[in-house]
């Protein structure tokens, strides 16, 4: 199984809502990532978890809160977002070693109203 | 920090023409990866280059890593409409993606 799944596919939320994005992989990968991608832009790294521990936080605002409950699951909790946070949120996984390839999920298209 | 510059931003070709995209880093890269993202899709891993001067081929795609490990290129021979998409390089040092080259192919 070389698939990374993400739910939901689409999400519309108000600025006062609390929602969560979910990501799952069963490839035995021990590194998982959240990226944000705006239209016609490259994916922008947000967080990296390695062996279920947060290893990289790219100065992401606290209204985004990641969580890695176990080696297969990655969540992104959203609270008090702004309209400019509307984007495609991509999850990826890989082996946390020097040479690796990232497998991306299909993404969650988030719209903040 | 590391910056990976990628050119051109856009490339429109006639089917059958060749295509090349280039990535340049301000610092030496431990390795570089290439991804393809189809319109409406997600990035898909193509290849990873690790060694100085490395050249790898995948059918019509040729990937090169510079001797100084600061630049890389992806060349597609005789493009097809299935090659349409955005091609990104990503330096492994900090998983920072280049801006991408959007390829369109006219049948």
Task: At B95, list the tokens.
Answer: 């998983």
The single residue listed with the structure tokens 């192919």 is B105
Inter-chain contact B45–A101, Cβ cutoff 8 Å?
yes
Q: Which residues of B touch A104 (CB under 8 A)?
A: 42-44
Q: Give the tens place of pLDDT for each residue, B20-70.
A: 999 999 899 989 999 999 999 999 999 999 999 999 999 999 999 999 999
pLDDT, block means (10 residues), chain A with 113 residues? 90 94 94 96 95 91 96 96 97 80 95 96
In chain A, the residue whose alpha carbon lies closest to the alpha carbon of B98 is A42
H or E stretch covering A112: strand A108-112
Q: How far is CA A26 from the centre of its chain?
A: 16
CA distance B99 to chain A (A): 5
The answer to whether B49 and B57 are in contact (CB under 8 A) is: no
pLDDT at B3: 76
Q: Give the tens place of pLDDT for each residue, A45-65.
A: 999 999 999 998 888 999 999
In chain A, the residue whose alpha carbon lies closest to the alpha carbon of B100 is A42
Task: At B5, list the tokens.
Answer: 């510059």
Task: At A74, list the tokens.
Answer: 């990655």
Q: Which residues of A touch B49 (CB under 8 A)?
A: none
Q: Give the tens place of pLDDT for each residue, B1-16.
A: 557 899 999 999 999 9
Q: Which residues of B touch A103 (CB under 8 A)?
A: 45
DSSP assignments along B40-75, one per residue: TS--EEEEEE-STT-EEEETTEEEEE-TTSSEEEEE
A/B interface, count of CB pairs below 8 Å: 45
Task: At B50, list the tokens.
Answer: 């690790």
Q: Which residues of A touch B102 (CB under 8 A)?
A: 40
In chain A, the residue whose alpha carbon lies closest to the alpha carbon of B46 is A101
């Amino acid at each position: 199984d070389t698939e990374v799944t993400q739910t939901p596919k689409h999400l519309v939320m108000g600025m006062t809502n609390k929602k969560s994005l979910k990501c799952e992989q069963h490839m035995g990968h021990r590194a998982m990532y959240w990226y944000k991608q705006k239209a016609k832009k490259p994916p922008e790294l947000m967080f990296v978890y390695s062996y279920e521990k947060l290893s990289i936080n790219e100065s992401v605002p606290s209204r985004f809160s990641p969580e890695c409950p176990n080696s297969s699951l990655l969540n992104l909790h959203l609270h008090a977002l702004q309209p400019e946070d509307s984007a495609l949120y991509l999850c990826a996984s890989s082996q946390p070693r020097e040479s690796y390839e990232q497998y991306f999920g299909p993404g969650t298209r988030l719209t903040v109203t | 920090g590391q910056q990976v510059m990628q050119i051109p931003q856009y490339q429109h070709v006639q089917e059958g023409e060749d295509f090349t995209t280039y990535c340049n880093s301000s610092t030496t890269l431990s390795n570089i990866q290439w991804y393809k993202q189809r319109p409406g899709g997600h990035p898909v891993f193509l290849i990873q280059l690790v060694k100085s001067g490395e050249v790898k081929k995948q059918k019509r795609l040729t990937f090169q890593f510079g001797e100084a490990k600061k630049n890389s290129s992806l060349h597609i021979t005789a493009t097809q409409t299935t090659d349409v998409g955005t091609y990104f390089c990503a330096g492994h040092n900090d998983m920072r993606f280049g801006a991408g080259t959007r390829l369109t192919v006219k049948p």
